[in-house]
Amino acid sequence: MGKHALLSASSSHRWLNCPPSARLCEQYEDRGSSYAAEGTDAHTLGEYKLKTALGIRAKDPTAHLAYYSEEMEECATGYAAYIMELVETTKQNCTDPVVLIEQRLDFSKYVEGGFGTGDCLIIADGTLHVIDMKFGKGQLIEAVDNPQMKLYALGALELFDGIYDIDTVSMTVYQPRRSNISTHTVFKESIYRWAEEVLKPKAELAFDGEGEFQCGNWCQFCKAKHDCRARAERNMELARYDFKLPPLLADDEIEDILGKIDALISWASDIKDYALQAALSGKQWNGWKLVEGRSTRRYIDETAVADAVSAAGFDPYERKVLGVTAMTTMLGKKRFEEVLGSYIEKPQGKPTLVPESDKRPAINSAQQDFNEF
């Protein structure tokens, strides 16, 4: 069996929504990314911090982490502290909870060859806790209706339901760089019902390479996103508007475009990136050529430059206060609040038009404020 399952928990959001993408992605090489490598390092450090907090002997991996930083250190420490707090809370109802770290979880009863690795499980009578650490800071990850978390829960229930008197499953996404701790608790029966009614049929389609191609935000992590015809056809639907300017479009046409334009921009960017990488590998595109992009001048040796300017009688340095993020990293969050908390403000954000499903509260326009007055 390979390192990654065809129908893995981490890719479940994609193959549940677009079943044939699972087999389609098999044709593409898994090149990985710096973001994935950074996430792996963060998980390794988090595992070490948690084992140490639990009194389990473990070797400090810091020296071997290519992406180690003070921010990663702080996030891993916070993750371990959060788990320990959860363990203490669990002990109030169960004196001997079991804590498992980086546990392999098998859900092949419902998904052919399906398995994954749970970052942390806390098994106790009453509630089973499933915790997943996300080091990414791009997309906000919610625990509610999260298929990856449900699959981990299924794997954990397969191991411990019956041994422990489990009634509910609490699924938590710990995403420190987004200050996001999202928890969703459900009765275990709802997990089993989802597995039978939704998961199993979709997994069978995905394993057989069948079903309908469907486009959505899950396309972002699909290996076939550059040349998927279904994605191209969906985005090219906007061509029917013939690039008319807003005054010539009806309200319902603008609403339709708003719902698709972000996906169109993302798709166009993916196509450009794919074409560039192919050209760098030797591909010749008719009507296009590789050229050297614009560049800016830079110093070869900043220390030598500073010495030379100082010798000439000038000050080569500029001084400015560190930004909030850099200052927080330097001081640490707690010390930052103690020293600078009273000097921080958060101005009102620039108005942004988003779908109604967005959780942020709506703001009134100037016209609405006037009408209310």
**Rounded CA separation 185/166 (Å):** 12
**Rounded CA separation 277/75 (Å):** 34
Residue 114 C-beta-side C-alpha neighbours within 13 Å: 32
| Token pair belonging to 371 | 């009408």
Q: What is the DSSP letter of 97?
A: -
150 within 8 A of 200, measured Cβ to Cβ: no
Q: In the prediction, which pLDDT does 308 show?
A: 96
**Rounded CA separation 243/258 (Å):** 13
Mean pLDDT by 10 residues, the chain (373 residues): 73 93 86 86 96 94 93 93 93 89 94 93 94 90 95 95 92 93 95 96 95 86 82 73 70 81 79 84 88 88 95 92 82 89 88 82 67 56
Residue with tokens 């981990």: 152
Residue with tokens 């996001």: 180
Residue 307 C-beta-side C-alpha neighbours within 13 Å: 4
SS3 89: helix
| For helices 34-53 and 70-90, angle between their N-to-C axes, nearest 10 degrees | 50
SS3 105: strand
**Rounded CA separation 97/218 (Å):** 36
SS3 322: coil
Q: In the prediction, which pLDDT does 208 show?
A: 94
Closest CA to 41 of 21, 64, 71: 64
3-state secondary structure 185-196: EEEHHHHHHHHH
Domain ranges, ordered by start, for the chain: 12-207, 225-280, 302-342
Domain 12-207 has CATH 3.90.320: yes
For the chain, list the strands marked E by DSSP: 98-106, 115-123, 126-133, 166-175, 180-187
| For helices 70-90 and 324-331, angle between their N-to-C axes, nearest 10 degrees | 70
**Rounded CA separation 237/255 (Å):** 14
18 within 8 A of 149, measured Cβ to Cβ: no
The DSSP code sequence of 20-66 is: THHHHHTTS-----HHHHHHHHHHHHHHHHHHHHTT------GGG-T
**Rounded CA separation 300/18 (Å):** 50
Residue 303 burial (CB count, 10 A): 8
| For helices 333-340 and 324-331, angle between their N-to-C axes, nearest 10 degrees | 110
**Rounded CA separation 299/307 (Å):** 13
**Which amino acid belongs to residue 223?**
K
| CB neighbour list of residue 112: distance below 8 Å, 6 or more residues apart | 6, 7, 203, 204, 207
Residue with tokens 């199993």: 200
Residues in the chain: 373
**Rounded CA separation 35/39 (Å):** 6
